[in-house]
Structure formats: structure tokens, C-alpha cells
Amino acid sequence: MPEGPEIRRAADRVEQQLAGGTIEHAWFAFAALKPHAISLIGRRVARVDTRGKAMLTRFDDGRVLYSHNQLYGVWKLHRADTPPQTSRSLRARLVVDGRATSLYSASNIAMWHADTLDQHPFLARLGPDLLSEAVSAEDVLARLNDARFKRRGLGGLLLDQSFVAGLGNYLRSEILFFAGLHPKRRPIDVDDEQRRRLARYILALTWQTYRSAGITNTPEWIEDAKVQGETRPQWRFTVFDREGLACHRCQTPIARTMVGSRRLYLCPICQPE
């Protein structure tokens, strides 16, 4: 499933595609959305933002199209007269000045109003979105110290969208590596400086991944990995999906484990239990 940075980048592309004009065509596959198709003609897309792994297409009349890609959903951008060749099922399409955005395969789509969006059953449970809201490292630190979260194992906590929204499986492994923490550790188990370091990396790595289109590794380690013949899927991360490969820092083989029924990667030396 795409994580927060990938959804934020997709939202940027959708917003750019639909910016600068009025909607000339709208189409929805689901019966509950079909009445909105005609009334959106002539409206504008005010902006497209995200909450965690959900995308929010905001129209200038206050309506908000909520969509969650889940495992298979994908937005495709194209000219209105040249739809993509795909076997996926079309769920929604918006056209502005001949530029189209089409959502395929997603099943979780609904129209809301901005005034009631906080009542959405999924969005209401989310913590702050690191990319679409003004969230500081101090804000993240405060959540690590919160009674709801401080006794939770970090391996599970970092996937809990009520803690912060948008983190997923690869970011979990990468954040814990850079913070030097084992997934079994809890916020309450570590000292103030370790919690501060963890908060900084939660924020910084999420933004780095967004800006770099999926790279969490450092430039120096990337160059070393390329010299060793590693391909992009290997060198883009520090530990994730690198089982058996050498740790960039200490050369110990990266280990794989399961936490919360999902795979997690770590360095046994840099992240002692």
C-alpha cells in the first residue's frame, strides 16, 4: 500500500492537472456519487491535499471528494480524448480544459462537505498528517510522551495512524534504524534525547521521502552501495527490504522480523534489543 509521501505526491500531480480552469466533465461509477457529476460542471478544484493515506479533492463550493487507494487504487493523468489503455475499473474521472484525472480500482470513495469532514469515520481517528499539516518535531515528541502512546512498542506504534498519519511499513523500518532503536522498545523505555531523536527522524524522513520520490538513504551510503553494484531497489533504503545485505553503517547483515504481522528490517548491532 502506498504510504503518506506517495499519496502526497499523487495529490500534487492531481492538483496540477486540474488547476486553472473549471470542470467541464465529471463521471463517477458509484450510484451514491452520480448525482454530483452534473452539479460539478463549472466548479473549480480549490486544492488537493491528504490526510494520511487518503486524498481529499476540495471543490470551490465546499464539497470534498474523499478517496483512499487502499492496495490497488491509482490515479492516472491523461488528455480527455486519450484515456489510458488499462484493464483496471474506472471509478471516477474529472476533466478541466481537456486535461483528465481518472481514478481506477479504488473502492473507498465518497463525497463530503468541508464542514462535516471531521465526522468521517476514518479521518476522525487519524493523528496529525506530517505533510499536509503544520506539524513540528516538538508536536511529534509530545505524542511520544502522551499516555496513549508512551507504553506502546515502537514497532506497532509507528503503524498506528492515530499516532501520526501516513507512516507505513518501509518508513517504520527506516525511522527506527536512523533513531537507533529496536522495535520492541517503547517511548517510556528510552531517555529524553532518544525520544527527541526519534521525533526528529519521524518528521525528517517523511519529508525526505516525499521530496526525493521514495529515497530514505543518505547520499554517501548511496554512492558506496552503487560502487558495490547495488540497484535502486537496494540502495534507496538503509534497511528495508535489505535482508542479508550489509548495514551501511557497521557492515552487519540486515535482519528481517515480523512485527504486527508485517515485515520489519533492522540492524542487530545498530538497533540492539
User: Is the per-residue pLDDT at 2 higher than 80?
Assistant: no
- Class for the domain spanning 137-266: mainly alpha
Region of 66 please: left (phi>0), alpha (psi -120 to 50) or beta.
beta
The question of whether 121 is a catalytic residue gets the answer no
Which listed residue (3, 6, 15, 174) is catalytic?
3
Establish whether 76 is a catalytic residue: no
Buried-exposed string 50-85: b where 16+ CB fall within 10 A, e elsewhere: bbbbbbbbbbeeebbbbbbbeeebebbeeebeeeee
User: Active site residue: 2, 5, 183, 187, which one?
Assistant: 2
pLDDT in tens, 44-79: 999 999 998 899 999 999 999 999 988 788 999 999
pLDDT for 213-247, tens place per residue? 999 999 999 999 999 999 999 999 999 999 999 99
The predicted-structure confidence for 134-173, as pLDDT tens digits, reads as follows 999 999 999 999 999 999 999 999 999 999 999 999 999 9
| pLDDT, tens only, 73-113 | 899 999 999 999 999 999 999 999 999 999 999 989 999 99
Annotated active-site residue in 34, 226, 262, 272: 262
Contact by Cβ (8 Å): 168, 3:
yes
Residues 6+ apart with CB under 8 A from 198: 144, 154, 175, 179, 181, 187, 190
Where in the chain is CATH 1.10.8.50? 137-266
Candidates 9, 53, 200, 236; catalytic one: 53
Residue 1 pLDDT level (bands cut at 50, 70, 90): low
Catalytic status, residue 6: no
Of the candidate CATH numbers 1.20.1560.10, 3.30.1490.20, 3.20.190.10, 3.30.465.10, the domain formed by 4-125 belongs to 3.20.190.10
**Distance (Å) of CA 176 to CA 27, 63, 94, 208:** 43, 39, 40, 15
Percent above pLDDT 90 for the chain: 93
Is 187 designated active site?
A: no
Domain with CATH 3.20.190.10 in the chain: 4-125
